[in-house]
Amino acid sequence: MKMMIWDWNGTLLNDAECCFHVLNDLCKERNIKTLDSVEQYREIFCFPVIRVYEQMGFDLTAQSFEDVSVDYTKGYQSTYLNYSLHDYAIDSLKQNRDEGIINVLLSASQIDILKKQAQEYECNEYFEEILGLNNIYAHSKVDLAKEFIEKSQIDCRDIVWIGDSAHDYECAKECGTHCILVAQGHQTKQALCNTGAIVASDLPEAMRLAREL
């Protein structure tokens, strides 16, 4: 292993509960039935995230997905600092750096927000690259990953992708990298296992499994 590509939301940042509350606030403003629990949120979470809103009953003809995304981002931005990184997140990044393994942060988040968060959570120093999208709509990040891996000139077989969603596994497969999904983020463990990916319960287990590939 020469490189580890890290997802951000749910993988390093423990923000599933934050997203659950923000979505419920949007529902209340629109008289839509709210989610009952964080676990229910995990059960419906998917990419592209427009499907999440559709499942919840948002009328995206009355208000566009783009406008809903703006409202969501405002709510998220005002609350995410109440949530911490997952246990062992900094230790994992430091362990890789100390062993000469390149850490790359790659997310479907908007790039300016992503860089700001990495700095606020004091982990930006551990990443050689921080890569995000140029918009707030959280579409697929696979093209971003492919372009970066090609430029890096590192064999995809020497890269491990760490994420918390089926989309991370899809991206890893598209790019030809290894993948380990961590079941403490935005999707249920069952949903992750259904992909056929290697699934870890937490970051220490993910780090151990990565070194066994």
Residues 104, 69 share a domain: no
Domain boundary among 82, 107, 128: 82
pLDDT for 205 equals: 98
Residues 143, 101 share a domain: yes
Q: Which of 61, 82, 103 is the C-terminal boundary of a domain?
A: 82
In the predicted model, what is the mean pLDDT of residues 69-95? 97
Identify the domain containing residue 25 by its residue range. 16-82
Q: Tell me: pLDDT of 138 over 70.
A: no
Query: Averaged over 41-64, what is the pLDDT?
Result: 95
Judged against a pLDDT cut of 90, whether residue 203 lies above it is answered with yes
Pair (89, 43) in one structural domain: no
pLDDT for position 141: 86
User: Of 82, 106, 125, which residue is a domain's last?
Assistant: 82
pTM above 0.85, yes or no: yes
- Does residue 94 sit in the same domain as residue 56? no
Q: Which residues 6+ apart lie within 8 Å of 40 measured at CB?
A: none
**Model pLDDT for residues 86-101, shown as the tens digit of each residue:** 999 999 999 999 999 9
Number of structural domains (the chain) is: 2
Same domain, 10 and 24: no
Residues 97 and 140 in one domain: yes
**Digit-coded pLDDT (tens) for 166-195:** 999 999 999 999 999 999 999 999 999 999
- Distance between the two ends of the chain, CA-based, in angstroms? 8
Q: Above pLDDT 70, what percent of the chain?
A: 97
Q: How confident is the model at residue 140 (pLDDT cuts 50, 70, 90)?
A: low
Amino acid letter, residue 43: E
Phi, psi angles (nearest 5°) of residue 199: -120, 130
| Residues 46, 9 share a domain | no
Overall average pLDDT of the 129-134 stretch = 92
Asked whether residue 94 falls in the same domain as residue 48, the answer is: no
Domain of 161, CATH number, reads: 3.40.50.1000
Query: Smallest Cα–Cα separation from 120: which of 157, 151, 81?
Result: 81
Residue 139's pLDDT band, with cuts at 50, 70 and 90, is: low
